[in-house]
Amino acid sequence: MLRQRTTVPLGILALLVAMSSARAQRGMGNMGSMMNMSHDSGTMAQMAIIHDLIMHHDQITRTVTNLPDGVRTVTESADPALAAELRTHVTSSVARVAATDDPGMPMESAALRTIYRNGDKIQTVLDTTARGIIVVQTSRDSTTVAALQQHASEVTDLVRDGMAAMQKAMRKTMQQPADSTKRSTPPRPPAKPAVRNERARW
């Protein structure tokens, strides 16, 4: 399997935020109506890709390993277009995390908001594969580690259940206080090292 090992250079990855494939643009559809139009073009492109990945979640596989100080995920697809979208989505999201730039997307959980808020406490290593991407994220901060592991589990739900999981996540987000980015309850404590192998969707 071909691999390209990449540490996360913020200056380069930030340029990827505005990337979107033609396929993702076609998949925008109803997702646009779910977003506040004040979002920038980079966030709109991210939402388009997320929508396309969720709509094709049954063509995506994901493995999650909880580490003592973080998480390792392997997310792939045999479909070259989906594999490219996975890499684009992950690299653009990592850039925003490193910049603590929370785009305020509709399905953001308390865990994801904690990750954006504590982006400067996270170390990320990306490994691209022929079918997708491997991500290792670690932190010395226990709250951040818990958030990384919780978010990884949430993404696995999206990969497994697709749109049903997204709708559930959005309903939960809508029930959170408007200032939950500041007052949200910290995610549960880090789990012991464990491996979850799941045939799921993104």
The pLDDT, as a whole number, for residue 192 is: 57
From the list 112, 104, 113, 95, the residue with the least C-alpha distance to 34 is: 104
Half-sphere exposure of 65 (CA within 13 A, CB side): 10
The pLDDT, as a whole number, for residue 2 is: 36
The single-letter DSSP state of residue 58 is G
What are the backbone angles phi and psi of residue 79, rounded to the nearest 5°?
A: -80, 115
Q: What is the pLDDT of residues 45-69, one digit of tens each?
A: 878 888 889 999 999 999 999 999 9
Q: What is the pLDDT of residues 31-51, one digit of tens each?
A: 444 444 456 677 788 788 888
Domain that holds residue 139: 4-198
The pLDDT, as a whole number, for residue 188 is: 57
Q: How far apart are CA 30 and CA 150, in angstroms?
A: 27
Q: How far apart are CA 14 and CA 174, in angstroms?
A: 28
Reading the block at residue 106, the tokens are 């509709």
Q: How far apart are CA 12 and CA 168, in angstroms?
A: 34
Beta bridge mates, 122: 139
The pLDDT, as a whole number, for residue 108 is: 85
Number of domains in the chain: 1
Low pLDDT (below 70) residues in the chain: 1-40, 173, 176-202
The single-letter DSSP state of residue 65 is E
* Amino acid identity, position 195: V
The pLDDT, as a whole number, for residue 98 is: 95
Q: How far apart are CA 173 and CA 63, in angstroms?
A: 25
Q: Which residues contact 100 (CB under 8 A, 6 or more apart)?
A: 116, 117, 118, 119, 120
The pLDDT, as a whole number, for residue 88 is: 93
The pLDDT, as a whole number, for residue 69 is: 98
The pLDDT, as a whole number, for residue 186 is: 52
Provide the 10 A C-beta neighbour count for residue 142. 12
